[in-house]
Chain A
Amino acid sequence: MKVSGAFLAIIGIFFGIVGLFYWFTSYEDAGFVMLMGSALLGLLPGGYYLWWSRRMRPLESDEPDAVVSDGAGVIDSFPGSSIWPFLLGMGALFATLTFIFGLWLAPIAAALGLSAVIGGVIESRRGGTV
């Protein structure tokens, strides 16, 4: 956590410095805004990780002498096969096609997208098709 946090924070600080330097040499706003956005992208999660890394037990994966048995037990639960990502993806495809070819495609997009959202939520509550 500490390394990951520091890694993100350093990225953020670098972009902050470059962004300020860029602003005071060029006064060009688009690039300045994007560099500041990148700085925040590093600083927000980096700061969050660093804050937590001081308050929690270190992860087994950050311990140089940890062995597999130190992490024994459940790693995490992983979803089995699921049709909903496919339907959600097709819903997104039809949603973008709606912008190009007209509103007559919107019901298809909405049907696919909504069924995928509902199906996905129900699936994670009660389990799906393995």
Chain B
Amino acid sequence: MTTTVESPELIEPEEPGGPDAHGPDAQGPGGHGTDGHGHDAAHEHHQGPTGILNWLTSTDHKVIGKSYMITSLVLFFIAGIMALVIRSQLADPTSSLVNFQTYNELFTMHGSLMLYLFAGPFAFGGLANYIVPLQVGAPDMAFPRLNALSYWLYLGGSSMMMASFLVAGGAASFGWVAYAPLSNSINSPGTGTDMWLMSLALTGFSAIFTGVNLVATIFYLRAPGLTMFRVPIFSWNMLVTGILILIAFPVLFGAVVMLFCDRHFGTHIYSVQGGGVPVLWQHLFWFFGHPEVYILALPYFGIVTDIIPVFSRKPLFGYRGMVFATLSIAALSTGVWAHHMFTTGVVLLPFFSLLSYLIAVPTGIKFFNWIGTMWGGQVSFQTPMLFSMGFLFAFLMGGVTGVLLASPPVDFMTHDTYFVVAHFHQVLIGTTVFAGFAGFYFWYPKMFGRMLSERLGKLHFWFLFAGFWLTFMPQYLVGLKGMPRRIADYLPTNGWTGLNQLSTAGAMVIGFSFLFFLANLVTSWRKPVAAGDNPWDGGALEWFTSSPPPHHNFTHLPPIRSERPTWDYNHPEHRKDESHGDKRHREQQEEHKETVGAPS
């Protein structure tokens, strides 16, 4: 049965110093507390199935978001264990922990799981799916059944990719970029490759559907008064990410289908023999692949942009600048694909180099705005804030080496060495792990109604932070000493052993740090600490409803007059009321219209 959703009721803030001055969790507007109409009203008209049937049939964005998050975290842990095996293999020059074929499968699947199945889906399928409708005051995503379909495609695609380890010939083993002609039917004949390709087709469509959903939700389901320039930056970034998904993933799908046709149906799109062009694969792949990097980065920028003001007790510095920077990063990211192809010798170096350098400008604006937000604020270093700070350091280092790599002469020197490996791991761990877990710690109370332990969270952070630098700084050096990527062994006389051992030790520390995370989840599950509706005193709309939110999210909404409606409601003495000016202006305009007799 389709449910018709009425709009929530308006709730006006009380006077300064009133009973609501310390957050709605004391006397919740949409709350589960004393008046209780939040939950009860929600339960009255929602009697869906429970248990596994609920999981299979739910079209609620909160259930789907949690499913996405759990699936992607499981895949993240599997891929992390693969990384530990890879690092263990490299700790000793002539190690035979795994054979070469297995090693190739491991680094391919590590990259594929992390990039296609964890980093993106965790952000746009998990966190965004859960948080964006709450932030824009919507009852659900715009297309709930499409949202469910997108999760099932994702789960199907991920299972297929994991199952490819079980077929004869093993999983795909050509690196996550699958360059032609290495990925053709002669060089990679196995069924594992086909499963890899088809899994990308499925998860690609799942991403496209989620992108459509995000764009439609943010354009059409915003609450009254929540104009585009009051939408929280996380939702803005998800909007831009959604559009980037719509640009990038269809190209990947096309490229994958053509590769499949080359392998099985006798076409010669990527093979020289039949008049095809192998480098076309690289063009298509990176036209997807570079926006993909920003599909993996922008959501996490958004997370950090939402967290830093909350823990600095200040509004965001430079809201419009942030929106502008997000748009420019997204726009530029689509024009830089061939900076991954400098060494092919067939691309226009100045064009791609220039555009790659230009991306540093909006990213720099973002950094200044993050620092400007903290500047002079009352910064409190709780776990989400610590992870956000970790992101700033990690991403800065990854970003600066990225600027180096945008220069063709430097790229010719370092291409396919561990320098590049260190660069993109610092970028991607900075975003997906530091910022991603910042978001997880930040929104976990909203999603599950219980707190995570601060002590375990901080231990997780500090071990992760130390392990991160210990893993990747030696990789820059070993890359500059000439160690190529994707090799399973090297000579003791190469002089790479010590640095590799440091890096492996660091990777073990990273792995160890996640035990604190798991312990934290178990603790919060077994000894729940109630979170209340707004544990961090956040400002955006998601903190206005109960934790976890009722079915269809809101029973009440505050008046929305700035980008922090919940803050305005809870702290009327600090309210930044933009409406009076606008209203007077509008009335004047209407008077003017009446006097000149213009038709309305």
Contact = CB atoms under 8 A, between A and B. Distances in A.
Interface of A: 3-4, 7-8, 10-11, 14-15, 18, 21-22, 25-26, 28, 30-31, 34-35, 38, 41-42, 59-86, 88-90, 92-93, 96-97, 99-101, 120, 124, 127-130
A76 B7 CA distance: 9
B334 A15 contact: yes
B224 A70 contact: yes
Interface in B492-521: none
B202 A38 contact: no
Contacts of B251: 34
A7 B331 CA distance: 11
Interface stretch (B109-117, B215-223, B394-402): B215-223
A62 B227 contact: yes
Interface of B is mostly: helix
A72 B7 contact: yes
Contacts of A35: 334-335
Contacts of A68: 7-10, 223-225, 557, 559
B578 interface: yes
Contact of A77 (B4, B148, B205, B225): B4
B463 interface: no
B292 interface: no
B57 to A, nearest CB: 4
B59 A3 contact: no
13 contacts: A11-B331, A21-B351, A22-B348, A30-B280, A63-B225, A65-B579, A66-B225, A76-B5, A79-B59, A81-B49, A88-B149, A89-B151, A97-B198
Contact of B7 (A11, A71, A99, A129): A71
A99 B260 contact: yes
Contacts of A86: 56-57, 148, 152
B1 A80 contact: yes
Interface in B169-197: 191, 194-195
B283 A30 contact: yes
B225 A11 contact: no
Contacts of B223: 61, 68, 71
A41 B247 contact: yes
A54 to B, nearest CB: 15
Given A68-B557, A85-B152, A100-B191, A28 B347 contact: yes
B202 A77 contact: no
Given A78-B5, A99-B260, A69 B10 contact: yes
B156 A93 contact: yes
Contacts of B157: 93
A96 B202 contact: yes
A78 B348 contact: no
A7 B583 CA distance: 25
Given A93-B160, A100-B198, A130-B1, A74 B6 contact: yes
B48 interface: yes
Contacts of B149: 85, 88-89
A128 B152 CA distance: 19
B243 interface: yes
Q: Is the interface of A mostly helix, strand, loop or mixed?
A: helix
A69 B558 CA distance: 11
Contacts of A65: 225, 561, 579, 582-583, 586
A60 B284 CA distance: 41
B380 to A, nearest CB: 32
Given A69-B10, A130-B48, 12 more contacts: A60-B224, A61-B227, A64-B225, A68-B224, A68-B557, A71-B224, A81-B57, A82-B57, A82-B145, A83-B57, A88-B152, A92-B153
B2 A79 contact: yes
Of listed A25, A74, A84, A100, residue having the most chain B CB within 10 A: A100
B132 interface: no
Contacts of B280: 30
| 6 A-B pairs with least C-beta separation | A89-B152, A93-B156, A60-B224, A85-B148, A61-B222, A127-B1
B50 to A, nearest CB: 10
A129 B152 contact: no
A18 B194 CA distance: 35
B337 interface: yes
Contact of A28 (B155, B334, B348): B348
B228 interface: yes
B93 interface: no
Contact of B219 (A4, A69, A90): A4
A92 B9 CA distance: 41
Interface string B1-20: 11111111110000000000
B47 interface: yes
A85 B228 contact: no
Nearest to A64: B582
Interface in B218-238: 219-229
B312 interface: no
Contacts of B58: 81
Nearest to B337: A31
A66 B145 contact: no
Given A65-B583, A65-B586, A78-B3, A85 B145 contact: yes
B348 to A, nearest CB: 4
Contacts of B350: 25
Interface in B327-352: 327, 330-331, 334-335, 337-338, 347-348, 350-351
A3 B9 CA distance: 27
Given A70-B224, A80-B3, A31 B559 contact: no
A90 B149 CA distance: 9
A93 B145 contact: no
Contact of A4 (B53, B145, B152, B228): B228
Contact of A34 (B3, B48, B148, B287): B287
A90 B49 CA distance: 20
Given A34-B251, A61-B227, A62-B228, A75 B7 contact: yes
A69 to B, nearest CB: 5
Contact of A90 (B53, B152, B201): B152
B144 interface: yes
B1 to A, nearest CB: 4
A37 to B, nearest CB: 8
A82 to B, nearest CB: 6
Given A85-B59, A86-B152, A77 B228 contact: no
A42 B240 CA distance: 12
Among B1, B4, B194, B251, residue most surrounded by chain A Cβ atoms (within 10 Å) = B1
